[in-house]
Amino acid sequence: MRRPGTGARWCCGVVMLAWCAWSDARVAHAQSAASWANLSPEPISLADGHVTIGGDVSATYGSVDPGFFNYTDYEHSALRMIRFNVTAAVKANDHLAVLGDLQTENFDNLRPYALYLRIRPWAARDFDIQAGRIPPTFGAFARRSYVADNPLIGYPLAYQYLSTLRADALPATADELLQKKSFGWLVRYPVGSQTLDHGVPVVTALRWDTGVQVHAGMFKARPLGVTASVTTGTLSNPLVRDDNGGKQVAGRLEWRPTPGLNLGVSGSHGEFVSTAAANAALPAPRPDTLAGFAQTAWGADVEYSRDYFLVRSEVIASRWRIPFANEPNRHDPLDSLSAFVEGRYKIRPGFYVAMRVDHLGFGSITGQTQSGPWDAPVSRLEAGAGYSLFRNLLLKGAYQYDSRDGGRLKPVEHLVATQVVFWF
Amino acid sequence: MASTGLVVSAIVTLVAGGARPSTTAAARPGSIRGHVDLQRTPVPAARRPGVSDLGAPAPRDLPDLLRSVVYLESAPRGAFETSETGRVVMDQHNETFVPHVLAIMTGTSVDFPNSDPFYHNVFSLSKAGRFDLGRYAAGRSKSVRFDKPGIVRVFCDIHSHMNAYILVFSHPFFALTNADGRYGIDRVPAGTYNVIAWNEGTASEPQSVMVPDGGIAELDFQLR
């Protein structure tokens, strides 16, 4: 299923990664020390600190994944990926900054992962307005999906696993949706766009939405953060250009009652189905009907850390409503519920072990000929370890057990992967 | 400029090999005094661009990068018998290690209290002192005893811009400069020594100085 040349590009990426680490070490050697232990982990600072540039490079190589458990689209598996990330902050003054993130996966197009303006109206107050392609308001993982922040190699299912839903193409009946179970990596429907394309995850960690975000922080002793945003796309389908005239509203409350304990709750609601697809499914739908084809999600997350261990957990419930062209009176919601718990324990300086237990389930619907979950429920257990050769050069290894209850693809997989991460 | 790592390695080699320093035994120790002229402006480590943050980060203190360390490249015979160990403190305050540079003798324990209302995680992967103190909250402190000479780069695993240096020596002949760049190394037996100045990972070439019997030798450095 891989495009010709992917292997060559992967090899090229490994060489570039090695070159990055080697050249940085040479600079560090020349400037400061005879040891690679002093390999510079600092971002590049220019113009008296007004411009800072950071980045990370990772190369992941793992088992073939014929069950498509780890694919982020038709061609990209999270277990076989070269990822380059360059982040930059240009701070004009205490009130104004521009932040951006350019990213490429497997040397495909260089994409602006983030590009936004941060405005702080009162320099002394923890109140910011961000506009552009902004960080996700919803949940916790999407904001720490950078490779160096992920203790394992795979992503949580809710943030990566491709369901069979698409915003631009629709099944004509519930039966048709049920027949597509497990084919989220490449799915085609008769209504709307006729092209083969991948479905959407519950929350997309790999693309950010476009809009305006307001964040306020208060109470220094027990900090409380409040964030709200209005964006063009939805959690499942972030967009730069609007495709349905609707907006997503998202909010998040985050509270740290004591150092080491973070509690968060999030909610979002936004129009999911594109206007073109909805028009193809329903003859002359009214605007308020279109607004009903939405994604609504609720999430709760917790992080607790102390001494050498760190535990995180996140639960996300999502509901989509889509039109069925041949069943115009069907209004069943399409539900999903996901939960994961991950833990990391540092065994010795620079060496840790980690594990994540993860499940993504789908609600049942009833068609004319069959009924059951509208997509095949998936479970994942991933266990791994990380070793820091230097502060900013990390080696990871992981084993992943995936299982899928239903669908026609391989139901169980045992996968292994290794990853090298370099960041500055 | 010589590499600091090489210079400190030289000290370690001397200790291990028991090489004789170029000194003359004398009854009354002397001193070496002088000034380190920093001809560059050290820049504190920047924060990584917080692109995924929901708002701007809180302001932090900036470390004092102007303190240099001046030390003898090789110590006089008998110096290693000194067992002047103790405890010193490197605080974590407003996302900064204070002080930014410590110079200590082997056997010294360094306390790392956390004075911030959030977690820090002090660690080092340096050969001279590989440790990880884990995450701990305000009001708590953990300590590390340093038994190997060398340079220890200290970081926080949570705040990537936090870093500090601990220079660990096998002998007592070293000094930190004050805010004006002045230093003084006392109780140095009379003799001729090579002296090195170090700042933020950059070391000077060794400079030779003769310490008179009971007297003071003046030695200035320029660090680029």
Confidence at residue A48, expressed as pLDDT on a 0 to 100 scale: 87
Task: Please report the pLDDT score of residue B19 as a whole number.
Answer: 34
Query: Is residue B109 domain-resident?
Result: yes
**Pairing mode of beta strands B216-218, A96-105:** unpaired
Distance from CA of B26 to the nearest CA of A (A): 35
Tell whether B40 is within 8 A of chain A (Cβ): no
The domain of B143 spans 85-170
Question: A160: how many CB neighbours lie within 10 A of its CB?
Answer: 24
Q: For residue A291, tell me if it sits in a domain.
A: yes
Is B47 touching A (CB cutoff 8 A)?
Answer: yes
Residue B147 token pair: 């038994």
Please classify residue B81 by burial: count the beta carbons closer than 10 Å to its beta carbon, then call 0-12 exposed, 13-18 middle and 19+ buried: exposed
**A positions 363-392 inside 8 Å of B (CB):** 388, 390-391
pLDDT at B83: 60
Q: Which of B149, B170, B191 is the last residue of a domain?
A: B170
Sorting pLDDT into bands at 50, 70 and 90, what band is A173? Answer: very high
pTM of the model: 0.88
Predicted local confidence at residue A40, as pLDDT: 64
Q: Measured between CA atoms, how close is B62 to chain A, in angstroms?
A: 12
DSSP letter at A206?
S
- Tell me whether residues B56 and A118 touch, CB distance under 8 A: yes
B145 lies in some domain: yes
List Cβ neighbours of A214 (8 Å cut-off, separation of 6 or more).
A127, A128, A129, A130, A227, A228, A229
Domain range spanning residue A384?
A: 59-79+117-423
CA distance A228 to chain B (A): 10
Q: Is the pLDDT of residue A24 over 60?
A: no
Query: What residues of A are in contact with residue B154 (Cβ under 8 Å)?
Result: none
Q: Which of residues 237-276 of A touch B (CB under 8 A)?
A: 252, 256, 258-260
* B71 and B93 in a common domain: no
Q: What is the pLDDT of residue A16?
A: 54
- The answer on B149 and B126 residing in a single domain is yes
Asked if the structure places residue B30 within a domain, the reply is: no
Whether the CA torsion B97, B98, B100, B102 is positive or negative: it is negative
Interface of A with B in 109-148 (CB under 8 A): 113-114, 118, 120, 126-128, 130, 135, 137, 143-144, 146
Q: Which of A26, A27, A42, A347 to mutate to test the interface with B (most CBs of B within 10 A)?
A: A42
β-pair type (B108-113, B87-89): parallel
Region A144-171 average pLDDT = 93
**What is the torsional sign of CA A60, A62, A65, A69?**
negative
Residue B58 placed within a domain: no
Residue A14: what pLDDT? 53
Q: Is the pLDDT of residue A250 over 90?
A: yes
Distance CA(A159)–CA(A141), nearest Å, equals 8
Assigned domain for A107 exists: no
Answer whether residue B207 is part of any domain.
Answer: yes
From chain B, the residues in CB contact with A92 under 8 A are: none
Any domain includes A337: yes
Q: Residue B105: which CATH number? A: 2.60.40.420
Taking residue A199's Cβ as centre, other Cβ atoms within 10 Å add up to 23
- CB B135 to CB A137 under 8 A? no
- Output A385 or A12, whichever has higher pLDDT: A385
Note whether residue A216 is domain-resident.
yes
B195 and B156 share a domain? no
**Residue keyed to tokens 């008296």:** A48
In a domain, A111, yes or no: no
- B89 and B158 in a single domain? The answer is yes
**B44, HSE (Cβ side, Cα atoms, 13 Å):** 21
Answer for the pair A227, A126: CB distance below 8 angstroms, yes or no.
Answer: no
> Which CATH number covers residue A309?
2.40.160
Q: Specify if B89 maps to a domain.
A: yes
Nearest to B135 among A137, A216, A307 (CB): A307
The answer to whether residue A235 is domain-embedded is yes
Average pLDDT of chain A? 90
What is the tally of structural domains in chain B?
2
Instruction: Convert the pLDDT of each residue in A61-71 to its tens digit.
Output: 999 999 999 99
Burial of residue A123, with CB atoms counted within 10 A of its CB: 0-12 exposed, 13-18 middle, 19 or more buried: exposed
CA of A262 vs chain B CAs: smallest distance (Å) = 11
**Which tens digit of pLDDT belongs to each residue from A74-99?**
788 999 999 999 999 999 999 999 99
Write the DSSP symbol of residue B138.
T
pLDDT at A289: 78
Determine the residue type at A404: R
Lowest-pLDDT range, A47-56, A414-423, B142-151?
A47-56
Together in a domain, B112 and B160: yes
Q: Is B52 an interface residue toward A (CB < 8 Å)?
A: yes
In a domain, B219, yes or no: yes
pLDDT tens by residue, A281-334? 988 777 777 789 999 999 999 999 999 999 999 999 999 999 999 998 888 899
Rounded to whole angstroms, how far apart are CA atoms A57 and A55? 7
Q: Above pLDDT 90, what percent of chain A?
A: 76
The pLDDT-based confidence of A108 (bands split at 50, 70, 90) is confident
Nearest CB among A38, A43, A54 relative to B201 is that of A38
CA–CA dist A298, A250 (Å, integer): 10
Residue B2 burial (C-beta neighbours within 10 Å; 0-12, 13-18, 19+): middle
> Are B149 and B204 found together in one domain?
no
> Nearest C-alpha of chain A: how many angstroms from B58?
8
Residues of chain A contacting residue B132, judged by C-beta atoms under 8 Å apart: 308, 346, 348-350
Residue A98 belongs to some domain of the structure: no
B8 with B72, same domain?
Answer: yes
Joined together, the tokens standing for residue A369 give 């000929």
- ipTM, two decimals, is 0.85
pLDDT of A154:
96
Instruction: Clarify whether residues B220 and B154 are in a common domain.
Output: no
Q: What is the pLDDT of residues B151-169, one digit of tens each?
A: 999 999 999 999 999 999 9
> Does B15 lie in the same domain as B90?
no
- Cβ distance of B118 and A388 shorter than 8 Å: no
pLDDT in tens, chain B (224 residues): 444 444 444 344 333 333 344 444 445 889 999 999 998 888 888 888 989 999 999 889 989 999 999 999 988 776 666 666 689 999 999 999 999 999 999 999 999 999 999 999 999 999 999 999 999 988 899 999 999 999 999 999 999 999 999 999 999 999 999 989 999 999 999 999 999 999 999 999 999 999 999 899 999 999 98
Number of structural domains found in chain A: 1
| Amino acid A329: pLDDT | 87
For residue range A109-125, what is the model confidence (pLDDT) as tens digits? 888 889 999 999 999 99
Q: Are residues B91 and B142 in the same domain?
A: yes
Q: Are residues B144 and B212 in the same domain?
A: no
Give the pLDDT of residue B150.
Answer: 96
Residue A110's SS3 state is coil
Rounded alpha-carbon distances, angstroms, from residue A249 to A227, A237, B30, B156, B218: 11, 14, 74, 36, 70
Residue A16 domain-assigned? no
Calculate the dihedral angle through the C-alpha atoms of A7, A8, A13, A16, rounding to the nearest 10 degrees. Answer: 150
Residue B36 lies inside a defined structural domain of this protein: no
- What residues contact A372, with CB distance under 8 A and at least 6 apart? A178, A364, A365, A406
* Minimum distance, in Å, between the CA of residue B132 and any CA atom of chain A: 5
pLDDT of A283 reads 82
For residue A388, what are the CA distances in angstroms to A37, B57, B110? 10, 27, 24
